[in-house]
A and B are shown apart, each in its own frame.
Chain A
Amino acid sequence: MEQQALIAIGIFLATYALIVSEKIHRTIVAMIGGVLMVALGIVEQDDALYHIDFNTIGLLAGMMIIVTVTAETGVFKYVAVWAAKKARGNPVRILVALCLITAVGSAFLDNVTTVLLMVPVTFSITRQLRVSPMPYLISEIISSNVGGTATLIGDPPNIMIGSAVKELTFSAFLANLAPIAAVIMLAYIPLFVRIYRKSLRTTPELIRSIMEMDEKESITDRKRLVQSLSVLAMTILGFFLHQALHLESATVALAGAFLLLLMTGEHSMEHALAKVEWTTIFFFVGLFALVAGLVETGVISRLAVQAIDMTGGDPVASSMLILWLSAIASAFLDNIPFVATMIPMIQEMGNMGVSDLEPLWWSLALGACLGGNGSLIGASANLIAAGLAAKEGHPIKFVQYLKIGFPLMLLSVLLASAYVYLRYLL
């Protein structure tokens, strides 16, 4: 192996180790790794820029802007209070309602943003009921990763896969992944209830205080609410039609975001842009540059050759290897860098003669998204929820989460394996 490739592997492994160790913020580590790839001449700057996928970054930024402006209208609080009242203030029914809202929100907004919106609302409701927020937080994290699996925009791994493979449209993701995501949620809900129902007790007086709340008071600006929901609906419609319109999903999201800012004005723009999760955006930029080093030096091609050798190019073996490897790896590593590495590898397998890549892409999406539930560090949504919970004085312990998340993750990957086999490989 030539020296350039060895240096690229060294930088990549050192960066990965530092991301896993969590001693330095992952964005700083990824950006330094990416810059080193360029500074040491492993890739030219132009090549690194070519590998930074604007579609992923534009889609994330666009959705973050739309959701920030929409959240300021109080609509998400309205929905949470409305759901809590529909659940008659019963803590177990509220758990189910919040999980379903999180799953659906994750599918159509993205799971990182949904968790950012749901965690404060969850603290508000559980404080009112004087029940532990922990069952809600853990169940919502798990629901966000399952819901996010269902669509192209739901979870960062899907955004990256959808962006890299033009044939996998928003509708294709929905048609192929939403059914299995729904089945997994249906399997999880009774398990959440069974695991937590004994710890979720409150008093009739506290239930009454929930029932007396007026959700309509949560809406702070009705005009902006109409504007935001109209743009959000148009943007989601745009995702369904993006291939027919010959537009990338990032173009749709950014068009929606800046149309909304045009309506809401300059002050709103500054606030919305300040609320964009720039640390996540730069994490992606660093990772793309990092993986560019591996692609340009031929490391990814060699890995693809080895994967084909291992499975003999057999579609069933290749799909199951990718599904389970992605799930286990994503449980203990952040699934975003893992998927950033796997995408060029699967593309390379296509170049080497593997004819039908579709089962492999769905296996990667299912493995990476569902695998994120395996541990607290498995996905961005988990880390964000854990960070917010710690700030509120309720830190989620790694092992506490693992005891619930890992077995549920294994169950979901088993269901996904059966689904992939029956639908694509039989």
Chain B
Amino acid sequence: MVPNVQYRFDPGRIEIRESANGEDAEFLIRIPDGSPYLEAMKQIRQYFEDNDEITDVLFYLYPGHEIKAIVNRAHYADFLGELWKRRLLLSLEWKE
């Protein structure tokens, strides 16, 4: 089970579709061409790819700036936290 977390985003800024991938969570992310948030997404990718501790957040790159991220449930909150820190999410909260 992924943690009980609720998030909101601006669909004009980013499109996020989340689904289950086995025991992991899979995010399909699309950011419009020319958006300044493309750089933010690149930084998030680099953050996880350079991270020697969190090695279970994997990125797959598709044409048209579409990114698939397969995120281990242990790092679900870490991944969303990075999106929020770089303003790709409007809000992020624990659901009681």
Residues of A within 8 A of B12 (CB): none
Q: A-facing mask of B35-69, CB < 8 A → 1, else 0? A: 00000001000100110000110111111010010
Contact of A209 among B55, B59, B60 (CB under 8 A): B60
Majority SS of interface residues in chain A?
A: helix
Contact between A127 and B70 (Cβ–Cβ < 8 Å)?
yes
Q: Which residue of B lies closest to A218 (CB)?
A: B61
Q: Which of A72, A127, A209: most chain B Cβ within 10 A?
A: A127
In the bound complex, CA of A392 to CA of B56 (Å): 7
Shortest CB-to-CB span from A133 to chain B, Å, is: 12
CB of B25, distance to nearest CB on chain A (Å): 13
Contacts of B50 in A (CB 8 A): 72
Is A124 part of the contact surface with B, judged by Cβ < 8 Å? yes
Judging by beta carbons under 8 Å apart, are A213 and B61 in contact?
yes
- Smallest CB gap from A128: residue in B: B60
Give Cα A120 to B59, complex, Å. 11
Chain A residues with Cβ below 8 Å from B61 are 213-215, 217-218
Complex partner residue of A391 from B55, B58, B68, CB under 8 angstroms = B55
How far does the Cβ of A215 sit from chain B's closest Cβ, in whole Å? 8
Q: Contacting A212 at CB < 8 Å: which of B42, B55, B62?
A: B62
Query: What 0/1 pattern do residues 60 to 91 of B give for CB contact below 8 A with A?
Result: 11110100101000000000000000000000
Say yes or no: A123-B62 contact (C-beta < 8 A), given A130-B22, A220-B42, A220-B46: no
Question: Residues of B contacting A393 with CB < 8 Å?
Answer: 56
Closest A residue, CB atoms, query B65: A217
User: Would A213 and B55 count as touching, CB distance under 8 A?
Assistant: no
Contact (Cβ within 8 A) B55 A392: yes
Residues of B in contact (CB 8 Å), total 16
Query: Chain A nearest CB: distance from B77 CB in Å?
Result: 18
Which chain B residues numbered 1 to 55 have a C-beta less than 8 Å away from chain A?
22, 42, 46, 49-50, 55
Report the bound CA distance from A215 to B59 in whole Å.
12
Q: How far is the CA of A214 from the CA of B64 in the complex (A)?
A: 9
CA distance A391 to B56 in the complex (A): 9
- A124 in contact with B58 (CB, 8 Å): yes
Distance between Cα atoms of A120 and B51 in the complex (Å)? 11
Shortest Cβ gap from A73 to chain B (Å): 11
- Quick check: B62 and A120 within 8 Å, CB to CB? no
B58 contacts A213, C-beta separation under 8 Å? no
The chain B residue with its CB closest to the CB of A388 is: B55
Q: How far is the CA of A391 from the CA of B22 in the complex (A)?
A: 19
Once the chains are docked, how many angstroms separate the CA of A217 from the CA of B46?
13
Q: Please determine whether B63 and A214 come into contact, CB atoms closer than 8 angstroms.
A: yes
- Whether A213 lies near B42 (C-beta < 8 A) is no
* A to B CB contacts below 8 Å, 9 in the list: A124-B59, A124-B60, A127-B70, A128-B60, A128-B70, A213-B61, A214-B61, A215-B61, A217-B61
Binding site for B on A (CB under 8 A): 72, 120, 123-124, 127-128, 130, 209, 212-215, 217-218, 220, 388, 391-393
- Given A209-B68, A388-B55, 7 other A-B residues pairs in contact with their CB atoms under 8 A: A123-B55, A213-B61, A213-B62, A214-B63, A217-B63, A220-B46, A393-B56
